[in-house]
Each structure stands twice: as C-alpha cells, then as structure tokens.
Structure 1
Amino acid sequence: MPYKAPTAIMETVSAVGQGKTEITWNKVLVLGFLAGAYIAFGGFLAVIAAAGDPWPRELPGLQKLVFGAVFPVGLMLVVIGGAELFTGNCMYPTIACLNKRSSWRGLIKNWTGSYIGNFIGGIFVAYFLGIGTGLLLKEPWMSYITEIARAKCGFSFTQAFLRGVGCNWLVCLALWLASGSDDIIGKIFAIQFPIMAFVVLGFEHSVANMFFIPAGMFITNEISWRMFLLNNLLPVT
C-alpha cells in the first residue's frame, strides 16, 4: 500500500482543511448531520455487539475490546463518505489557518455547522433508530446503554476534560494517518487501530456521546439534559 511522508500528509491535510472552510454553512450543517449519524451507527453497533454478561471476570477488558473493535466503522463512514465531523475538524481547518490557506472566520463557520449537525445526527439515530425501532428497548441492550450513559455523566469535570483530550488526540491521529493513504483499504487500517485504542482505553468522544447519553436518557429519567451537557458534553468538547 503506498503511503505519504509526514510532510506530504501536512500538505494534504492543509488542502482538505481549506476546502472545509469554503463549504457554505448550510452544507456543513447537512454534512455534520450525516457525520453525527455515522458515528452513532458505530456506537449503536458497538452496543449491540458488546452487551450482555458472557465476559469472564478475569478478563474485564475483553468486553471493551469487542466494543472498540467495531466502533471505528463510524469514522470510516465519515472519511470515505465525505461527512463533516467536529472532532476531526478541530485538526483540518486549524492547520489550514495556521498555514494561511484559510481564514479563522471560515474555521468558526465550519466548527459551528459541524457541531450542531453532529448533535442533531446523533440524537436522531438515538431516538428514531435506537428507541423508535425498539432495538434498544430489549435486554441486554437496554440495561447496557443506560449503564453507559450513567457512567459517562459520573465523571468529574477534570476527568471528563482529560478523557476528551486523550480521545481527540487519537481521533486526529487516525485522520492524519488516513490522509497518508490514497486507497480505501489503507484508510480503513489507519482509522481502525487508533480509534479502537481510544475506545478500549476509556476516553470520551463528544460526538459519540451525542448518541450514547441521549439514548440512555430516552430510556431512564435518572439522567437530565443538564447532567448530559454540564457533566459530559461541555468538558469533553
């Protein structure tokens, strides 16, 4: 598989970032919705695959490994399908601006559109495809998604913030590595392992949590929107 040197990757990332800042806000919003939905599909798949209690107690990381092994499909859909993911856009337009290829105003336009779109997309999948279909209203998936949502709202601000830093470091690294390949197989491999790593390690992804936590909230009233926004989404973002 051919790959690019880091200097060539920098040029590619900068060019991609420039293109992202030139998209109209309405288009960014729609592509952001798709990215939020794609990440939610990855999270949804991970919940279905890893729920239940067949995991040996002496291997507590095995369930996390299964969860992490399938979750990256979401970012693969984003990259190959061409959607706008806020966490990845923290890298692309920033590098373009630092290289003086884009304006900071264009960066803010991209960030706001992709973030709002991601939020709507994640909640859409959680409510209509997770709850509306009844797929997350059956055991063991119902208990598992509510357990995930509770845990994610139980961190201190500092813990959530640092887990968000670790996550986006690996997310941006995955996208950087994927930018070094010109073929789909290379991009898939570049995405798989860094994303699997952040999931298994227990880091927090703001866009994924736009699916996980609302899905749990739609099932139980133990988690409020205030808890979701202040305990998780704000520090993780």
Structure 2
Amino acid sequence: MSYVTPAEFVAKMIDAGEAKVFISTRDTVIRAYMAGAILALAAAFAVTVTVETGQPLVGALLVPVGFCLLYLLGFDLLAGVFTLVPLALIDRRPGVRLGSVLRNWGLVFVGNLAGSLTVALMMAVILTFAFSVDPNEVGQWLGAIGASRTVGYADHGAAGMLTLFIRGVLCNWMVSTGVVAATISTSVSGKVIGMWMPILVFFYMGFEHSVVNMFLFPAGLMLGGDFSIADYLVWNEIPTVVGNLVGGLVFVGLALYATHARTGATRNRPHPGKSVNRKVNA
C-alpha cells in the first residue's frame, strides 16, 4: 500500500521541519532559489495559457506542474516552511529554537525572491524583445493584474487590506495542504495527485501566494504596470506573507499536529457484552 496514515505522515512533517532547521545556509538558499524560479515559470506558463485560451480554469489545471516538480526535487517554498518548521519547535526537538525557525524562514524568503526575480526579468525580456518593443498580450496582462491586486485593494482601504489578508490565509491553507499531501503516499503518482488538487483550487480562486506574487508583480512593474514598488510591498507582499503564515501554520500544521501527533484522551466505551442501563421516563 502506498497510502501513509495521518499519524505517520504527521510524524514525517515534524521530522522534515526539524531537518530543515539544520540544513546549511548555502543549501537552504539554493533550494529556495530553485523553488522560486520553478514556481515562477509555472505561473508564467499558467498566465500564458489563460490569456491565449481565454479560460482561467485551463491555467489553473496546469499550474500545479511547477509545484509538484519543485517538491519532488526537494526544493523549499516559504509557504511550506511556514507550516513544517514550527512543528519541530512545538514538538521540542533538540536544538530547535525560535531563532533557528526565523533563520530558516528568512533564508527561504531571500532564496524564493531571488529565483522569482530572475524569472521575472527573463520573462520581461522575452515578452518585449529585450525591452525594444511594447509588451505583447501576456505582458500587458501581467501589468494589469499587478495594478488590480495592489491599488485595487488600496482603493477599499481597511476592507481591502482585510480581504487581501484573508486571501493570503486561504491560499496557504490550500498550498500547505498540497505540501502535506506530498507525504501521504510513497509513490510518485500518489504524491502528484495529492498535490495537484489543492494547488488547482488556490490558483483558480485567485488567492494570494507570496512566492507567486514575487514573480507576478516585479514582472508587471518591468512591463509597465501602473503601480509602484511601495504599492506592491504594502498592498500585497507583506500582508500576503502574514496571511500565508497564519493559513499554513494554524489551519494545516497546528490542526494536524493537535489531532494526530498530540491526540486527546479517548473516551471510555462500554465493555463488549455489557448492557448499558438507560432510564426510561414513564
């Protein structure tokens, strides 16, 4: 059987979080860089398919290819380490401290950003013939989405910020479920099927993913999007990162840990064969 039970895969999650804390700085950054780059390429692919077919569902159906590849290759996304690494701290694994958790998050953030920016620059060059012509239809779409998902939120003030945060929470609820789904099977096909479903949901629903946005918005700025770097940071990236942290840690990591690693006491049940007296009202 290739299926792994919840108790077993939650133990794997804690072990994985512990292992990531002790990975060298060099390896952490390289793995995060490659994860950011591969996910950015998948996002560019999904955007291209969506624009050319006019069917967002087609893009959403295909974007998980990047997510599956990067996790099968052992690379790390910020969304995933938000969920896994704190579990090693909560489980009191030897040598795991708050500082080491924050170090891992910081290194993965830097690596993801660098990889995403690399692909954003490459795509901007491709879509404009090295900035010698105006962006094509895909490039124009990238610029437009950057504006709609920054100043578009800002136009609604506090309500827009709350909406952005909630979209970040829901996004990593799904994405981290995909991370966990990679551990529920020992076969490649089982892992891919498990990861594919929640990533499809997050992308089609338009939730906010901090690493995908590290590609979309810088690319949009390079391609003439009508928003600023400050708009991107304040009205997208920073609230999205916080929302992703809450969604992944609270609704996936802690929920699974609480019920499968630190289960509550079982209730007493009647002994087989013994009758249970019941009072019947006359």
Q: Tell me if both proteins adopt one fold, taking TM over 0.5 as the criterion.
A: yes
Measure, in 2, the Cα distance between the counterparts of 1:221 and 1:180: 41
> Helix, strand or coil: the match of 1:84?
coil
Measure, in 1, the Cα distance between the counterparts of 2:128 and 2:50: 14
Measure, in 1, the Cα distance between the counterparts of 2:135 and 2:222: 13
> Helix, strand or coil: the match of 1:132?
helix
The answer for the alignment partner of 1:111 in structure 2 is 105
1:81 Cα deviation after fit:
1.0
Q: CA offsets per residue over residues 3-55 of structure 1, 9 Å max, x none?
A: 11111011111111111000122321121111110110110110111114x54
Gaps in structure 2 of 5+ consecutive residues: 154-159, 242-282
Residues 79, 163 of structure 1: alpha-carbon distance in 2 compared, 3 angstrom cutoff: same
Give aligned-pair identity as a percent: 28
Q: CA offsets per residue over residues 30-85 of structure 1, 9 Å max, x none?
A: 21111110110110110111114x54xxxxxxx22112111112211221111121
Measure, in 1, the Cα distance between the counterparts of 2:107 and 2:169: 21
Size of the alignment, in residue pairs? Answer: 228
Q: Output the aligned Cα RMSD.
A: 1.6
Contact 1:163 1:203 (C-alpha < 8 Å) held by counterparts: yes
1:135 Cα deviation after fit:
6.7
Gaps in structure 1 of 5+ consecutive residues: 56-62
TM-score (norm 1): 0.91
> Helix, strand or coil: the match of 1:220?
coil
Measure, in 2, the Cα distance between the counterparts of 1:158 and 1:77: 32
Q: CA offsets per residue over residues 104-137 of structure 1, 9 Å max, x none?
A: 2221111000001111111110002x01223796
Q: Which amino acid aligns with 1:161?
A: F
Q: Which has the larger radius of gyration?
A: 2
TM-score (norm 2): 0.77
Residues 231, 21 of structure 1: alpha-carbon distance in 2 compared, 3 angstrom cutoff: same
Q: Which runs of 4+ in 1 moved over 4 A?
A: 135-138
The answer for the alignment partner of 1:25 in structure 2 is 25
Measure, in 2, the Cα distance between the counterparts of 1:134 and 1:157: 31
1:142 Cα deviation after fit:
1.7
The answer for the alignment partner of 2:10 in structure 1 is 10
Q: CA offsets per residue over residues 91-115 of structure 1, 9 Å max, x none?
A: 1111111111232222111100000
Contact 1:123 1:214 (C-alpha < 8 Å) held by counterparts: yes
